[in-house]
Amino acid sequence: MKLEDIIKERRSIKRFKDIPVPIDTIQSLLETSTWAPNHKMTQPWRFVVVHGDSRLKLAEATRAFMEGKEKDPEKKKAAGQRGYNKLIGVPMFVAVIMEENPNPMTREEDYAATSALIQNFSLLAWEQGIGMIWETYGMIHSMEFREALGVKPGEKIVGSLHVGYPDMIPAPRPRNAIDQLLTIMD
């Protein structure tokens, strides 16, 4: 498969088959993904892979977050259960965590490099028939979620990647034409 085809055919996957993704496959994809452009080679990233029964800890953290967010006491349990169900239905999570450099310029460059790493991972996974969606929901900032993943002070969760074999692949969504986006200066 050509890289151009992988880029155009990749989709964000929200529904997964109940088939585990081999850990050694994920490790290999992450190893290659770290070849993202990274100014000053700070390599600010680390990863936490959550699969199997360890997903329960994340699902429970999500339940607590969603219940705490719901203002209506009668809806708290239902909101918590929806959050729990959403996360427990994902075969694997790959949390991409970045050390937040105190220098704002370096921190911005590190965020860009970490985002490039996630894109690399997404394309490499797609090439192997593995789908994912890059999530940055509000709970990644909650104490419960950060503790469940072992995120330390001074670290930022750049993405919670939901990873698995696609159960459904959505149709492509249109993109703006390049002539609407491009300015050429001679």
- Residue numbers in the known binding site for FMN are 10-12, 39, 134-136
- Read off the tokens for 7: 């880029």
Angle made by CA atoms 163, 66, 151, in degrees to the nearest 5: 55
Q: Which residue has the tokens 């790959």?
A: 94
Q: Tell me how far the alpha carbon of residue 143 is from its chain's centroid.
A: 18
Q: Could you tell me if 128 and 30 are in contact, meaning their C-beta atoms sit under 8 angstroms apart?
A: no
Q: Judge contact between 160 and 136, C-beta under 8 A.
A: yes
**The tokens 């459904």 sit on which residue?**
168
Structure tokens at 158: 């750049």
Contact residues for 182 (Cβ-Cβ < 8 A; gap 6+): none
Q: Which amino acids are annotated as binding site, given as ranges?
A: 10-12, 39, 134-136
How far, CA to CA in Å, does 135 sit from each of 107, 171, 182?
A: 20, 19, 29
